[in-house]
Amino acid sequence: MKALAAANDLQRRESCWSHCFVKNLIDFGFKGSIYPINPSADEIRGIKAYKSILECPGPVDVVHMVIPAKFVPQAVEDCGRKGVKHIIINSGGFGETGAEGAAIEKDFLERAGRYGIRILGPNCQGVINTDPGIRAYCNFTFTKPDPGFISIVALSGGVAEVVHQAFAQMGVGTRIYASNGNAVDVTIPEIMRYLGEDEGTRVIVTYVEGLRDPANFMQAAAAVAAKKPILAMKAGRTREGAKAAASHTGGLAKEDIATDLIFKKAGVLSFRDEGHLIQAAAAFGSQPIPKGNRVGIITNTGGPAVIATDVLVGAGCTLPPLSDKTRALLKEKLYPEASIGNPVDVLATGTAQHYRVCMDAMMEDESFDCVFVNFVTPFFVDNESIAREIVAVNQQRRKPIVCNLMTDKQQWSEVVRILREGGVPCFPLPGEAARAMAALVQYHAIRSREASPIQLFADVKPEKAKKLIAEARATGRTQLDAAEVYGVLDAYKIPVAKWRLAASPAEAAQAAAKIGFPVVLKADAASVVHKSDTGGVALNLASASAVKAAAAEMKRAIAAPDLRFFVQKFLPTGLELIMGAKAEEGLGHAVVFGLGGIYVEVMQDVVFNLTPVSAAEAREMLDAIQAAPLLSGVRGKKGVNRDRLVEILQRLSQLLTDLPQIQEMDLNPVMAFADKAFVVDARISLKESA
Ligand code: ADP
Ligand code: MG
C-alpha cells in the first residue's frame, strides 16, 4: 500500500474525524503517502489536503472514507475516475437503516462495480495491518496492536474490538484486523481465504452471529482450516420460541446447531467462551502445531499441575511416563527430592538449569508431543534466569509450549517481560493454560482426520422416491403416509421390518398371517404422532385373534376417522437407535444418530453431522455418542453390526441429498442386531413449499 487518502466530512466533525484518522495513520507509522481529502481544509495535521481525490498528485491504492452516506455515491464515482480500486467505508446510514439507506448502498455499489472497485464495509470498523512494511490503521477504535501472527475477522466491530483489546492486554500481537460491517462486497469467507494465503498469519480468529451464505463459508473455512487454524465463536445460540417439532430430530436440535456443524465439518475450532478462544489463539500465534496429544508437564509447585492434568486429560490429552533415558538423566541432574515422573516437579527451589534440563529432555523424549510448564516465582530463586531458559527452548520451536505463570506481575515484571518478548504464551491460571494447549492438540486431531470420499450407492431409485413425494404434494400434504415413507426408504435400500397396511381388524389379521407371527400392530392416522403415547402400539401379537382384539381396542382408543392399521413383523429385542434428519437453510440437512426408542428425548444421547456424510464421518458419529460402547458390546452382550449402520447412514445421506424437499425425517427406532439392522418406525415431512 503506497498511498492512502482519507476523506471526511469537515463541516460536521473537523475536530474529531479528519484529524483522528490522519493522526492514527501517522502514529501507527504508516509506510505510504497520506492524502487528506477535504473540501475546506488546506492541511490536516501538517499534511497538505486536497479538495477532491481527483486533485491528488500520485496514484491512490486505498481510500478510507468517512463521509455522510448521501455523499458516498459521488465520492465512489470520483475514486473510480481516479483509478482507485479499494475503498473502506466506515460511515453508517446505509442498508442497516432502512429503504433510503439501502438505495444509496445500491447506488454506490453499482458505481463501484463499473470501475472494478472493491468495497470493505460500509458501516464497519475497517482494517488494521501491523505488517512492518505497511502499518495501516484504517480503523476508528483505540487498540494499537503490536505486530503478531493472529488475524481477526468479524462482521461485528464491537466483538472484534473486544477480542483485539484482550490480545493487547495479554501482550499478544496481532497481524490483520478486518471488520466489514454491512459486508456489501468483500465478505468474511473472502477475507478468510485471503488470510489463509497470508504468510504472516498463523491463526485466524473469527466471530459470527449468523452466516449469510453458509455453504460459501463452509467451503472457504474448510480450504483454509486445512492450512492453518481457524478459531471461531458463534453467539446467538438459543433459539427462543422455536416451535415444538413433531419429530424427535427437530426436538433434539434445540439450539442453532447449523453453525456448529459447519465448523465441525470444515475443521474450524469452535469456542463457546470468548476468553477461551482468546487464550487458545495466543497459543496458536506463537507455537507450532503438535504432532500428537501426549503432554509432558514440568512444574515447581504441586497443586496447579494437578489442575492442569485434569483439564488436559478431560480434553483428550494423555500424560505418558518419561522414557527411561529421560528419567535417568533427571535423576542425575535434579535435586534428590524432586519428583521424577509426569509431571516432573523440580521443586520450588528448582533452578534455571533444572528447568532447562527438563525442557531439553522433554523436547528430545519421543514420548511427548507438547510441553506444559508450570512456573511459580519464589523469591529465593533466580526467576529471570528461569524465564530466559524457557524462552531459549521456546525459540527452538520444536514442540509447542504453554506456560502457567503464577506470579505478581508488578513485582516480577521483568520475568513477565522476558517471557512475553520471548513468545511464550503465559496464562495466570493452570486451567487456562491447559485449555489453550488442548486446543493445539485438537487442531492436530482435526488435521489428521481420515479423508474419506462420499460414497454413492448405485442400487438406489431416486425417481421412485421423487414420484412418491410429488404424489404426496399433489394432495396438499407435507406429511408422508406410511406407504410413502416406507416406499422412499425402500428406494434407497434402507432396510425396514416387513409390513402391510390394513383397513380393518379383520384385514389386519390377514396381513399378519402373510407377514408371519408374531407381529406388531400400530395405529396409522394423520393425528397420531407418537403412537405409544396413545395406545397405538401393540407388540408381540402371536395369533390372528390377538391381532383382531388389539385392532378393535385401538379403534376404540383412537377415534380417528382416517385410522388404519400398520402391521409389522415383531423383531426380537435389539439395540434401539435413532437416525434422522432436519433441513438446514442453505446447507442441505443435519443428520442425527444416537440412542433411540421412546426415551430418546430423555436420554438425549445423539450427535449431528451435515450432509453429505462420508463413511469416516458416519463412523465418527457412532463413536461420538455416550452409549458408543453398547454398539461394540459390553458385559458379555454382543455388539451390533457397525458397518451396517455406517452404510445406512450413508444411504440416508444420499437420500437426503437427492431429496432436498424433505424437512424432517425420523427413523426411530432402528433396531440393530449383531448381523443386521431394521427400521421399525419412520416419519418424513416435507418443506412447506417445494
Ligand atoms: P412411536 O415411536 O410412535 O411410539 P414405534 O413404532 O417406535 O412407535 O414403537 C414404539 C416402541 O415399540 C419402539 O421403540 C420399540 O421398542 C417397540 N417396537 C416397535 N416396533 C417394533 C417391532 N417391529 N419389533 C419390536 N419392537 C418394536
Ligand atoms: Mg418411534
pLDDT in tens, 422-453: 999 999 999 999 999 999 999 999 999 888 89
Single residue among 412, 447, 482 that ends a domain in this structure: 447
Tell me the pLDDT band of 139, cut-offs 50, 70 and 90. Answer: confident
Q: What share of the chain has pLDDT > 90, as a percent?
A: 80
Single residue among 546, 570, 594 that ends a domain in this structure: 570
Residues 2 and 126 in one domain: yes
How many domains does one find in the chain? 5
Instruction: Give me the chain's average pLDDT, please.
Output: 92
Q: Which ligand 1 atom is nearest residue 570's CA?
A: 24
- What pLDDT, in 10s, does the model give residues 456-475? 999 999 999 999 999 999 99
Q: What is the pLDDT of residue 450?
A: 83
DSSP per-residue codes, 274-296: HHHHHHHHHHHHHSPPPSSSBEE
- Asked if residue 648 lies in contact with residue 677, where contact means CB atoms within 8 angstroms, the answer is yes
Cα-only R_g, the chain: 32
20, pLDDT greater than 90? no
Residues 276 and 155 in one domain: yes
pLDDT average, residue stretch 221-242: 81
Q: What is the pLDDT of residue 11?
A: 43
Q: Which ligand 1 atom is nearest residue 681's CA?
A: 6
Closest CA to 205 of 276, 256, 147, 265: 276
- Count the Cβ atoms, other than its own, within 10 Å of residue 54: 11
Residues 427 and 491 in one domain: no
Q: Which ligand 1 atom is nearest residue 522's CA?
A: 6
Residues 321 and 455 in one domain: no
Classify residue 213 as left (phi > 0), alpha (psi -120 to 50) or beta: beta
117, pLDDT greater than 70? yes
Tell me the pLDDT band of 249, cut-offs 50, 70 and 90. Answer: low
Nearest CA to ligand 1 atom 19: 680
Smallest-distance ligand from the CA of 521: 1
Classify residue 557 as left (phi > 0), alpha (psi -120 to 50) or beta: alpha
Rounded to 10 deg, the angle between the 274-286 and 430-447 helix axes is 70
Closest CA to 310 of 410, 430, 208, 426: 430
pLDDT greater at residue 12 or residue 587: 587
6, pLDDT greater than 90? no
Cis previous bond, 518, omega within 30 = yes
Q: Which residues line ligand 1 (CB under 6 A)?
A: 497, 520, 522, 530-532, 537, 539, 568-571, 576, 597-598, 668-669, 680-681
Tell me the pLDDT band of 238, cut-offs 50, 70 and 90. Answer: low
| Centre of ligand 2 from the C-alpha of residue 532, in Å | 8
pLDDT average, residue stretch 585-608: 91
pLDDT average, residue stretch 68-95: 95
Tell me the pLDDT band of 244, cut-offs 50, 70 and 90. Answer: very low
pLDDT greater at residue 259 or residue 327: 327
Q: What is the pLDDT of residue 1?
A: 45
Residues 103 and 208 in one domain: no
Q: What is the pLDDT of residue 564?
A: 95
pLDDT average, residue stretch 158-179: 90
Nine-digit cell string for 302:
504441586
Closest CA to 299 of 402, 384, 443, 157: 402
Q: What is the pLDDT of residue 18?
A: 72
- What pLDDT, in 10s, does the model give residues 339-375? 999 999 999 999 999 999 999 999 999 999 999 999 9
Lowest mean pLDDT among 64-68, 207-211, 227-231, 548-552: 207-211
CATH of residue 547:
3.30.1490.20
Residue whose entry in the numeric block shows the C-alpha cell 515484571: 413
- Count the Cβ atoms, other than its own, within 10 Å of residue 586: 14
Determine the distance from the C-alpha atom of residue 415 to the mean position of all C-alpha atoms in its chain, rounded to a whole number.
Answer: 36
Q: Which of 122-126, 179-183, 278-282, 302-306 has the highest mean pLDDT?
A: 278-282
Lowest mean pLDDT among 236-250, 517-531, 534-548: 236-250
Residues 534 and 602 in one domain: no
Q: Which of 36-40, 95-99, 402-406, 598-602 has the highest mean pLDDT?
A: 402-406
Tell me the pLDDT band of 476, cut-offs 50, 70 and 90. Answer: very high
Lowest mean pLDDT among 51-60, 229-238, 298-307: 229-238
**Sheet architecture: strand order including 426-427:** 344-345, 295-299, 370-376, 401-406, 426-427
Lowest mean pLDDT among 19-23, 296-300, 367-371: 19-23
Please tell me the distance from the alpha carbon of residue 40 to that of residue 23, in angstroms, as a whole number. Answer: 18
Please tell me the distance from the alpha carbon of residue 525 to that of residue 509, in angstroms, as a whole number. Answer: 19
| Centre of ligand 1 from the C-alpha of residue 537, in Å | 7
Beta strands in 458-508 (DSSP E): 499-502
Please tell me the distance from the alpha carbon of residue 82 to that of residue 51, in angstroms, as a whole number. Answer: 14
Q: Which amino acid, one-letter code, is at 356?
A: R
Residues 126 and 210 in one domain: no
Q: What is the pLDDT of residue 639?
A: 94
CATH of residue 25:
3.40.50.720
Residues 343 and 436 in one domain: yes
Residues 415 and 455 in one domain: no
Residues 458 and 406 in one domain: no
Residues 466 and 614 in one domain: yes
Cis previous bond, 660, omega within 30 = no
β-pair partners for 606: 594
Single residue among 286, 317, 339 that ends a domain in this structure: 286
pLDDT average, residue stretch 291-311: 96
Q: What is the pLDDT of residue 159?
A: 81
Residues 462 and 607 in one domain: yes
CATH of residue 379:
3.40.50.261
Phi, then psi, of 212 in degrees rounded to 5: -70, -40
For the chain, the 3-state helix, strand and coil shares in percent, each to the nearest 5, are 40, 20, 35
CATH of residue 662:
3.30.470.20
Phi, then psi, of 241 in degrees rounded to 5: 70, 15
Give the torsion sign (CA, 382, 387, 393, 399): positive
| Centre of ligand 1 from the C-alpha of residue 579, in Å | 14
pLDDT average, residue stretch 491-511: 97
**Residue ranges making up the domain that contains 307:** 289-447
pLDDT greater at residue 609 or residue 597: 609
